[in-house]
Structure 1
């Protein structure tokens, strides 16, 4: 028996497989483990709708805020700057400023500009409305995915369903508290706005209606802690969360949780200009339509940073920071369907899948041993190694195992055996032709490898396409198939070849092809 590099590599692969799959198989505390998907361990299934019409209103509001900042910075006098759900109107007091404003608006994409003397009417183009609504859904998917990743959930499924629906599947959500926390994090708009308090009329806010406030270009907002406290603020915000670059939880001097936020360069400039011109007045920090604080501006605030204080717990502050950091939703979302998947379904699925896997595995092993004798034992060693390697790789990368993924493992068992059958049959054919053991093994592998590679590469391409264009469970199936194909090529082509080379002299001396390859001598 002579050791060879193929046997060494195969032995290393087996050790790797056993070592890294052990935490998952034995459920050890230490080490990386495979995560079970929603269909196996239970969790939360949500179908969300997106109010895309609100996205166009947000776009209009954002353009209005930009126009307001531009005209104030350039000392352009504007009268009656207002907006509704589809348009923006304003009038310039000096006709000489019309050209400057028109040049500024050229850089704003997706709007049509109608100018009549000093009066402007701006509307989103039909193409921009469609683009904004589509972007709202795309951005919602990305934002929800980012929030859930930062929340700590492993491989949540977030995918588009139709034009305006989003499918969310969260594995491992078991308690009512976790479910409520996840739902709030998903649905929270996290829309941050800094808005000027109308100091001239703020004292009368308790006696004003929303229509009265609108007549002055204001809106009435509630205090987040006490809805009885009202604030009269300018409807057009100074800036919004689109200029936010970072948010993190911190603590004030009394060790109470608060949110620190930072703005981008444009936001910092707007923030600095506004605070510099409004010393002594109040600036309302508004989040999702509620006023969290309205501090007095004591001096110009540069650097583009601020704080949001409120009476919330550390956990609430962390979730709020996650929501702000991952970005505000362009349009509100609502739950269309909710299903809690119980762990009993997962237990039944696991049990049924394990019966299929073990049953199929045992039958394959028995067939290989009875039909191919010692060669079948070699194939079975490669098969067992193949399973350990699949589990090890999935554990190492913390992959999520779903029911289709388990089906992929079962299918991989058959594919791995198929490669060993092709190799053994080629060797048997050459031995029956009278070739020596050495030539039969070497030529058998040379002839079999081409067929094995062709079959496995085409299957691997199909699995890659499934992963690229599939979602959720389909991706899980594609991952297990891909890992299984690569592992089977390692164990079948390299591993068993090394074992035969190791045993070659012993096979030659025994001259018992029936024992080694199941070849029955003809009488």
Structure 2
């Protein structure tokens, strides 16, 4: 009789090969994809950051003022004394015939409260909008910090919300003072780019002017990045800001000096082009985080929506600033509330304790399975080893981070995998006790056990998914390893061992020694 192709055994063989090949780099630290150790295992930096949400509100008012200024210029609406304050925007309309047009424009912007006194406008943000801005500032800060750290090259940094307005940042692998300082600077860098017009009429008096006098003209005094004693007088309302930036890359100028090339979106490109076209012969300053990097004279209309920032950067500085710009400006300043360094000795102790628990637990399970179920226990143990290799392989493939709770998840998944094999072997024994033949006991045993195993694993998988979706940090690590372990146990316990038994069924039938194979003395 011709044997049919053993699909389950073939599938198990492929899974074993996959597990072995992708586990080798992690187990023996060779080249290839590896499991990344988390902060609690390899050491690193633990930061608690605060967000100054009030600054995000102030920035929103500045952006609104810039938009109103551009709209009035584009539509040739005459306005005067446009000022952005910490809690409002004010301006005066010079032509009452334009009132309907400016009212319609302001009505389209959500969250504004507009107060009019004849032709004088005062604009504030509604309470709902203020709350939204504060919440969005925290969420955006989390996203931007995570993007920056990913581009910085750190493996699996954890950035999560802590409490109402704090952010918890965990950076595995930060061990040197240099790396720590660079990471801190990258996290705290505002990355707020602005293009601002120079007040050419009054700039000659900038060194003798107070901040209050500059404010009365609608200006602001800012220092140059390379020389804080050198200052320049700029129009307080920026021409455009970094919200219109789409890309930023470190590059080199014609003299081989590091610079940053940036690209604007279509709206920013149009504003940039229109302003430069109308201000040939004047200067426009490139301002980053409140410091002037350059203030070149506009020689001609600048089209294409791109420009560059120069300022005596080092290669690393240019790269880090480009990362900050590319990942998005922080909507509000970040304050370091707490810093804790986790030493590698703690990680080594944690790994040692976890490995002792994993290895000792696995040995006890392996011995029990062999003693109680005979050669069926050996087959179950083979599936158990493949199950662990599959977990490591999948985590390596996706560069997942292994934390201490994650190791607990692996230990739990080992127990679940053994539990599945116990159920299968007991169902086969039930068939023997009912007087069924070996083939029938085997097939019925797997059919009956599979339903129970599938149901229990499905509920476990749902739990793991929910833990990952709603959990944070360490809980996510536990959920990931648990979910991978559950899926691997289904593959190894139900598919793998069934394929092995089918391949060996003739040998088992010929031996007739069910005590050796299943630990059950059957009367023939």
Question: Matched residues in 1 for 2:112 and 2:445: separation?
Answer: 70
| Residue 325 (structure 2) pairs with residue 324 (structure 1) | yes
Question: Matched residues in 2 for 1:467 and 1:182: separation?
Answer: 27
Match of 2:205 in 1: 204
Per-residue deviation, 1:432: 2.1
Question: Matched residues in 2 for 1:158 and 1:363: separation?
Answer: 38
Matches within 5 A, 1:94-105: 94-105=95-106
Matches within 5 A, 1:303-382: 303-382=304-383
Question: Matched residues in 2 for 1:510 and 1:75: separation?
Answer: 98
Q: What do residues 286-316 of structure 1 show as CA deviations (whole Å, max 9, x unaligned)?
A: 0000000000011111111111001111111
Match of 1:254 in 2: 255
Match of 2:21 in 1: 19
Matches within 5 A, 1:44-193: 44-193=45-194
Question: Matched residues in 2 for 1:57 and 1:188: separation?
Answer: 18
Match of 1:392 in 2: 393
Per-residue deviation, 1:433: 2.1
Task: Tell me which moved more, 206-215 or 168-177.
Answer: 206-215
Per-residue deviation, 1:103: 1.5
TM-score, normalising length from structure 1?
0.98
Per-residue deviation, 1:520: 3.6
Question: Matched residues in 2 for 1:70 and 1:9: separation?
Answer: 65
Question: Matched residues in 2 for 1:502 and 1:486: separation?
Answer: 23
Question: Matched residues in 1 for 2:147 and 2:325: separation?
Answer: 11
Match of 1:408 in 2: 409
Match of 1:9 in 2: 11
Per-residue deviation, 1:347: 0.3
Q: What do residues 33-63 of structure 1 show as CA deviations (whole Å, max 9, x unaligned)?
A: 1100011001111111000011111111111
**Runs (4+) of structure 1 moved beyond 4 Å?**
none
Partner of 1:232: helix, strand, or coil? strand
Partner of 2:302: helix, strand, or coil? coil
Per-residue deviation, 1:159: 0.7
Task: Tell me which moved more, 429-438 or 409-418.
Answer: 429-438
Partner of 1:337: helix, strand, or coil? strand
Partner of 1:199: helix, strand, or coil? coil
Question: Matched residues in 2 for 1:112 and 1:10: separation?
Answer: 66
Distance 1:521 1:78, change over 3 A: closer
Per-residue deviation, 1:234: 0.9
Per-residue deviation, 1:505: 1.6
Q: Confirm or deny: 8 A CA contact 2:44 2:342 kept in the other structure.
A: yes
Question: Matched residues in 2 for 1:148 and 1:459: separation?
Answer: 33
Question: Matched residues in 2 for 1:360 and 1:370: separation?
Answer: 16
Per-residue deviation, 1:521: 5.7
Question: Matched residues in 2 for 1:83 and 1:395: separation?
Answer: 52
Q: Confirm or deny: 8 A CA contact 2:26 2:34 kept in the other structure.
A: yes
CA RMSD of aligned residues (A): 1.4
Partner of 2:205: helix, strand, or coil? helix
Q: What do residues 361-384 of structure 1 show as CA deviations (whole Å, max 9, x unaligned)?
A: 000000111111111111111111
Q: What do residues 430-463 of structure 1 show as CA deviations (whole Å, max 9, x unaligned)?
A: 1122211111111111111111111111101111
Question: Matched residues in 1 for 2:211 and 2:340: separation?
Answer: 39
Question: Matched residues in 2 for 1:25 and 1:61: separation?
Answer: 54
| Residue 428 (structure 2) pairs with residue 419 (structure 1) | no
Per-residue deviation, 1:14: 1.2
Per-residue deviation, 1:114: 1.3
Match of 1:477 in 2: 478
Question: Matched residues in 2 for 1:298 and 1:348: separation?
Answer: 64
Per-residue deviation, 1:187: 0.8
Matched length? 522
Partner of 1:297: helix, strand, or coil? coil
Q: Confirm or deny: 8 A CA contact 2:195 2:241 kept in the other structure.
A: yes
Partner of 1:47: helix, strand, or coil? strand
Matches within 5 A, 1:219-258: 219-258=220-259
Q: Confirm or deny: 8 A CA contact 2:432 2:522 kept in the other structure.
A: no
Match of 1:430 in 2: 431
Per-residue deviation, 1:83: 2.2
